[in-house]
Amino acid sequence: MKITKYILVLSLIFGGMQFVSAQENWESDGEIEDVEIEIVKDREITLPKANRNFEKIAPINFSGVKPQLEYSFDNLNLPLPSLNIRVRPLRIKEQPLKKLYGNYIRAGFGNYITPYFEGFVSSKRSRDMLYGAHINFLNSRNGPVDDENSGSGEFDVEGYGKHFGKKLTVGGDIGYHRRSYNFYGYPENQEVNEDSLSQNFNNIHLSGYIENTDKSSDLNFYTGIQFDYLKDNFSAEESEVQLDFKGSYKLGGQSTINLRSDLDIISQKDEGLDVKTRNIFRVVPTLTFEYEGFLIDAGFNVVYENDTLGDSDEIHFFPMARARYSLSSGFEVQAGIRGDVNKQTLRGFVESNPFLAPNSRAFNQYNNFEFFGGIGGSLTSKLGFKAGMSISSLKNLPLFINSPEDQSKFLVIYDTGNSEILNINAQLSYNRNEILRLTLRGDYWGYDTDESEEAWHRPNYKISALSTFKLFDKLRFETEAYAIGGIQALDFNTGEKINLDAALDLNFMAEYLVSDQFSGWVRLNNIFGQEYEMLYNYPVRGFQVMIGATYSF
């Protein structure tokens, strides 16, 4: 086919040449002759077929050649000179420990002619010993009613110590506490003898204990003894000796045997009151174990006591059980039942109401049973919560009423029937790197008394908020607010119930750190200035301000 193309091309070229020659003749002669060109294809070129070989070439086999290698080992003895290497260790300069300023002296002065002084000293870094002492003095010469007639004060001095041994830890503390009050709840415009208003309570406290040092061991125990003595400005005295023991033994896993026991010997006397000694002995064995995801504490409480308003030398048995379950890593629910004989002391009454009339007797209280339950956990890494409720059946519930003979003093009365108390509570806590801390809590109490008409001088609700805030490591703010309401009192003059106004209180403190050792502060109490009453006829102080300084060393 290629040859045919070549012949055709040559024919065209040749024809072109003939055309050019004819043109030249035409131009010269002036005539055009007829020319006929005939191309004849009369030859066919054929090529023979080529033979192709598709057979594979067989691989060539090579037999492996293993050359024989011979090794020779010659011992080389090279004499080397002895080396005297001197290693000089790198010495790191010890970093000095940051100085601790755990000790402090604080002093201030406020309105109502209120001087204030407080000091605290303690041992510093020590693996074997911890000890310290504390002193506190706060005295308000004037109060909300008739100036000096409603003054009050407090004085505390105490010391403590603890020694950490390899196996045992021994500790104890000793203290003296004095509280001063005046009976200023008398009727308005009544003439009073100032010397008869004063009331002082002196309390001596002494305790000692022994416990094992290593808390990670299978066997843990604690045993201690405590002595308290209280005397007022008149003839009331009370002494209490308490022995305590707590022990636990790990069986393996979550299983633990627990034993708690204590003995209380309480003696009280007053003018015209025979000395009466009350004994309470308690043994509480329980077993902690895990069952299908529940962590359970189960056991019982056996109590012997010899004084509960006429009953004596009785043994009481109460069931003890609690179950906890983790819903997730941050949430836990619990529920249980318990019962006990609650000791009541004159010292405990004075802390709630220091304006007691003479011969105020303290008797034991039955907690027949208490059902409780709740939930708690962490909503975020900084926000936590807990909520719960309880229903209790109590016998010999102590209540306060104003004395019909002197309204400035209170009597302790008991509801000897079965009183039911419902408590519902909830709490939120927020902590942001110790810079901002906030706690909100709310409580509600419902009472169903038996023999008493009302639960006198017991609140129905309490809402509180506490926050601390640090700014630039120089300023520290502290705020406390609370609302308490639903308190009822009995007026013997009219025979009617009195609903006390809700107590709304806001306190604020600001402290400026001048240096690591010195700071100045100001404290504001009862900013709303409400002279509310927590006890009938006893208004509290209004707006209070105090300015002071703190020195740490």
- d(CA 292, CA 162) in angstroms, rounded, equals 42
Specify whether the CB–CB gap between 545 and 523 falls below 8 A: yes
Is there a domain that residue 85 lies in? Answer: no
Domain residue limits at 437: 379-553
Residue 18: which of 38, 41, 3 has the closest Cα? 38
Longest dimension (CA), the chain: 177
Is there a domain that residue 461 lies in? Answer: yes
Is there a domain that residue 425 lies in? Answer: yes
**Which tokens is 416 given?**
């000897």
Is there a domain that residue 527 lies in? Answer: yes
**Res 284: pLDDT:** 98
**Res 74: pLDDT:** 56
Render 129-140 in DSSP notation, one character per residue.
Answer: EEEEEEEEEEEE
Estimate to the nearest angstrom the gap between the alpha carbon of 462 and the chain centroid.
20
Is there a domain that residue 402 lies in? Answer: yes
Which residue do the tokens 């629910």 mark?
Answer: 333
**Res 70: pLDDT:** 59
Is there a domain that residue 179 lies in? Answer: no
Task: Give the bridge partners for 222, in sequence order.
Answer: 211, 246
**Res 344: pLDDT:** 94
- d(CA 189, CA 180) in angstroms, rounded, equals 24
35-67: b or e for each residue (b if 16 or more CB lie within 10 Å)? eeeeeeeeeeeeeeeeeeeeeeeeeeeeeeeee
Which CATH number goes with the domain that contains 430?
A: 2.40.170.20
- d(CA 153, CA 182) in angstroms, rounded, equals 10
Is there a domain that residue 95 lies in? Answer: no
Specify whether the CB–CB gap between 181 and 154 falls below 8 A: no
Burial of 341 (0-12, 13-18, 19+ CB in 10 A): buried
Q: Is this structure's pTM higher than 0.95?
A: no
When divided into structural domains, the chain yields a total of 2
**Res 26: pLDDT:** 43
- d(CA 16, CA 22) in angstroms, rounded, equals 10
In order along its 553 residues, the chain shows pLDDT tens digits of 444 454 554 555 555 555 444 444 444 444 555 656 665 555 555 656 655 555 555 555 545 555 555 555 555 555 656 656 566 666 666 666 667 778 999 999 999 999 999 999 999 888 899 999 999 999 999 999 999 999 999 999 999 999 999 999 999 999 999 999 999 999 988 888 888 899 999 999 999 999 999 999 999 999 999 999 999 999 999 999 999 999 999 998 889 999 999 999 999 999 877 778 899 999 999 999 999 999 999 999 999 999 877 666 789 999 999 999 999 888 999 999 999 999 999 999 999 999 999 999 999 999 999 999 999 999 998 999 999 999 999 999 999 999 999 999 999 999 999 999 999 999 999 999 889 999 999 999 999 999 999 999 999 999 999 999 999 889 999 999 999 999 999 988 888 999 999 999 999 999 999 998 999 999 999 999 999 999 999 999 999 999 999 999 9
* Residue 510 host element (H or E): strand 503-513
- d(CA 226, CA 117) in angstroms, rounded, equals 28
- How many CB atoms lie under 10 A from the CB of residue 459? 19
**Res 329: pLDDT:** 80
Is there a domain that residue 228 lies in? Answer: no
**Res 271: pLDDT:** 85
- d(CA 261, CA 257) in angstroms, rounded, equals 14
Contacts of 139 (CB under 8 A, 6+ apart): 114, 115, 151, 152, 153, 154, 155, 180
- How many CB atoms lie under 10 A from the CB of residue 536? 20
